[in-house]
Structure 1
């Protein structure tokens, strides 16, 4: 393949490099969907400009995929730090691509890497997979790397191999806001204000990514730092009031501007979330991202709910309708209290149940709130057709079965059907 890091190779399922005439035939084929598996490393980014060029040439959609280790998605519905890193990275890449005029979907799966890529390609009817080749210069073609080799040999579509740029620097232990912001291009800054933030979604630092470990403590510690951390830890352990930390938000993830010691102590003490002053950044050219932010903020101001996140701007108006429908059952309760009860009794349990079914695998780019609306439509249809009162757990199980989603690995919730009224 030569030593040029920018050179690409088109291979078909037999894994053999073809001559120029055959390459032209591949280029001349209809390419509507391009799958780009990403491993979150700088080396893996070498394929992005190539994939984007192919998408522009063919007018194709891009599908960004990250494969988590087997069973890495918590069946309880909690978001792991690994998953938060992946979602943040994919969000940032997808936002920049949309700002550049590309149609991009991003999704996460867990399982063996090669077979998961192949399954995703078949299910999405992918026409071209853009994959990284083995970065070890000098190895013969027979040793593409186990993942690349398996994908090339078994894929039912064309595979484009891109050799990574070996001069790229290694990742920092945590994500760098500066690097991720640069990846997104020009950004607009919006003040979001005080809210609780899940610790697992705090995945990086503003300006200190290369000096902090994954526990948000300095890699090279000083006595002064240890003493300061000890004071913060003791204060939080005794439930003393401390100022909120300051975070920047990009896509799914948050980056610490001020409060690394408090984040480190919160992790050590087993906190699930921490009060934070949040500033959000959105790619200037991502009009859907800007619209989504405006709709989400309007929803939050009306309901007081800060943890309902959708990826489609149209979802928030429909979610508000569901909140109002539930409020109609509580005429003496104000809107914000109704919304809180709706979130606690309906939305939050439903979101966790949907994650147990890994429904997001079937709807690339959508988040729990978007998929919840799909379940709501399905539930309404079933109630209309059968006259039965279908509760939300039952509706989720039935919807999961209808789309072929996997069953929860543990704690399966059985469908409950009956006559009478129910939440809508």
Structure 2
């Protein structure tokens, strides 16, 4: 028996709900006091996550035991529960307490249904069951799992705001279809930089096609840009100590813009590097 239990399951189930609501309110207050982003305690919306990452297919893999802390989002009930599935209002109280009572009596609780994206899970059906499991101190839960394959790796997604970066990166990789090492190497943190970099690569590819007098598809342009332009330039920037605390792609984009603004050229040589370095001082 828990140290706060009365021994009367119905009363304890009511107390479980009130404690969960109190913790949700205190969590919202703490977020406000720390001036954290509004989306810190919001469950991730499945449709927005998959749209940002690019949906490629799905596979039903059946019953699994999953960790509660891997459940980060919902298909359609995000407003009723926060990120740790604490109830956000009294609207769900009646059903919530029935499930808590059943759990305390040892009755069978059906598995929940979830989508799996990478290591993350999104509840299709069973939001109240997840909430009750959290409130009762459990760490795992049974779930019927459907694995969803996406174009981008969902790694790094914590909050709703992270989806903006993922979405812009997916669009960038559609415009500039890098592969393998190149795909992993070209990363920026500001989502708008992906849009700017995509335009830059397309302009570079247009000039290349003009110079060579032939049409090149997007995959070829992306490969040529990375090997002929990006890698040599990043090497120069590192030697000149112009990368700093940026990612290599951010340093490349910044210096490319400064190069053209300062001396109106698309070439790379020592004069360009020195002009940009002098400007930085």
Bin the TM-score by the shorter chain: 0.3 to 0.5
| Bigger radius of gyration among the two | 2
Of Structure 1 and Structure 2, which has the larger fraction of its residues in helix? Answer: 2
Question: How does the TM-score come out when normalised to structure 2?
Answer: 0.41
Question: How does the TM-score come out when normalised to structure 1?
Answer: 0.29
